[in-house]
Structure 1
Amino acid sequence: MTAQPPKPSPRPAPPGELRASHDDREAVVEQLRDAAAEGRIDLDELDSRLEQALKSKTYAELAVLTADLPRTNSAEDLPPLVLKGGLHGASRGPGRWEVPGHVIARGGMGGVKVDFTRAECRLTEVAVEVYGETAGVTIVIPDGWAADTSGMDPGIGGLRDKTTPDRLPGTPLIRLTGSGGMAGVVIRHPNRWERRKLHSNPTQG
């Protein structure tokens, strides 16, 4: 019995031939609308490109539609967000804000709260560097987001991780580092009062 020659393994598709997702098409649609608002393309061309974007099946087809437009700033280009508690405390959220790749929170004397529940995050991972110091730091992440706290030093105040490990596809991972300091660090999902507020004002900016 003669041995069968090995079957050739399938070759990976070139990046441009990879299938685009709904989110990929939506990102191009948003970039095209911004370009029209800035006067870079006229309304007729916008309509034509939007139609093509919605029909595009691959990255290459989408890339053609924005090849002559300047690259917009991405979340990776944003400077780190630095919050210092000071005497009176500091917070970011729960309104709309764009999440950069690096967040630094220092509790100081007044404490810091970082609320991601209404944030716009286009990253797969966000580095959050926290120092509880005297008044502590609280991090609130939406249901479906997950946290990695293995890089944290709990310090005297400790670390309380009340998040669930059930990460939904396409959501970011919050990678926590730093120290709990005197007052500690808490990372959690929204509490009952925060959930009620989210449900009663789902589009609050």
Structure 2
Amino acid sequence: MVGELEPERGRMRISDADRHRVAEILRGAAGEGRLDIDELDERLEATYAARTYADLVPITHDLPVAAGAEVAPARAGSSIVSGPAQERHVAILGGFDRKGVWVVPEHLSVFAMMGGADLDLREAKFAASEVTITVNCFMGGAQVTVPPHVNVVLEGTGIMGGYSGPGTRHAAEITPDSPTVRVRGVAVWGGVSVERKPLRGF
């Protein structure tokens, strides 16, 4: 647990994904009123300055969510890590982007109205073996890009719009241990496209 790291683990260097995971915990706590803006800024600064797992322990030690979130190394080669249970984002006359190294929560909800969202999962880690991305669009759209080893289940509905999923290209890399991304929602006068692409540089 966050406050019970073994000494050996505490000395291990952390990754950007670990920093992002703690940052999401802090933002969630601020959204619930547990941290004020100054405290959030101070702790975020400490999070991104952290170098080891032990450095992260005091940052979330007094937050209830920390009791259920492990700040510990992921299994070698695993794309499943501890992360937030859910996130909600809105893009109105604007955009919402996620790319690079980040943690996809178990439930991610995006609403785009006359705006768009770009979610690139190729370098992302997942908070669960199956995550659900709900994208509702009105006169807007979203692009979801997944790596070759991720299974995709498309459950969206298009009303004068559409949902489109990935083809079979690169699908041979999917195994029984592959994470699943379930994409659902409604697109009205808009569209959601899910595309499978290889990792950058390959």
TM-score by length of 1: 0.56
Query: Which has the higher relative contact order, 1 or 2, with Cα contacts under 8 A spaced 6 or more apart?
Result: 2
Structure 1 runs, 4 residues or longer, greater than 4 Å off: 30-33, 73-77
Cα deviation, 1:76-118, whole Å, max 9, x if unaligned, reads 661422232221211111x110121011122222201111011
Q: Which has the larger radius of gyration?
A: 1
Question: Aligned-pair distance for 1:157?
Answer: 0.8
Change in 2 beyond 3 A, CA 1:101/1:71: closer
Distance between the aligned counterparts of 2:148 and 2:83, measured in 1?
26
Query: Which of 180, 187, 201 in structure 2 is aligned with 1:180?
Result: 187
Change (3 A) 1:171 1:122: farther
* CA shift for structure 1 position 177: 1.6
Verify: 1:83 aligned to 2:58, yes or no: no
Superposed, 1:1-205 pairs within 5 Å as: 33-36=8-11, 37=52, 38=54, 72=70, 78-93=84-99, 95-149=100-154, 151-164=155-168, 166=172, 167-190=174-197, 198-199=200-201
Please tell me whether the aligned partners of residues 111 and 134 of structure 1 are also in contact (alpha carbons under 8 angstroms).
no
Distance 2:96 2:119 in 1: 9
Shift of 1:130: 1.0
Structure 1 residues 122 and 80: alpha-carbon distance in aligned structure 2, compared to 1, 3 A threshold: closer
Contact 1:136/1:181, CA 8 A, preserved across alignment: no
Counting aligned pairs with the same residue, the percent is: 20
AA aligned to 1:188 is: E
Structure 1 letter corresponding to 2:177: G
Quick one: structure 1 residues 121 and 141, their matched pair in 2 at CA, closer, same or farther if it must change by over 3 Å? Answer: same
Residue in 2 aligned with 1:3?
Answer: none
1:133–1:148: structure 2 CA closer, same or farther, 3 Å change rule?
same
| Structure 2, gaps ≥5 residues long | 12-51, 56-67, 73-80
Please tell me whether the aligned partners of residues 85 and 108 of structure 1 are also in contact (alpha carbons under 8 angstroms): yes
User: Is residue 119–residue 144 contact of structure 2 (8 Å, CA) maintained in 1?
Assistant: yes
Cα distance change on mapping 1:71 and 1:101 into 2, 3 Å: closer
Asked whether the equivalents of residues 99 and 121 of structure 1 are also in contact (C-alpha less than 8 Å), the reply is: yes
Residues of 1 paired with 2:6 and 2:144: CA distance?
31
3-state secondary structure, aligned to 2:139: coil
Unmatched runs of 5 consecutive residues or more in structure 1:
1-29, 40-69, 201-205
Q: Shift of residue 134 of structure 1?
A: 1.2
Q: State the distance in 1 between where 2:127 and 2:85 align.
A: 15
**Distance change (3 Å), C-alpha of 1:157 and 1:100:** same
Question: RMSD across aligned C-alpha pairs, in angstroms?
Answer: 2.9
Q: Give the TM-score normalised by the residue count of structure 2.
A: 0.57
8 Å contact from structure 2 (residues 69, 83) kept in 1: no
> If each structure's strand is expressed as a fraction of its own residues, which one has the higher value?
2
Aligned residue identity for 2:146: I
- What amino acid maps onto 1:184 in structure 2? G
Residue identity opposite 1:100 in structure 2: P
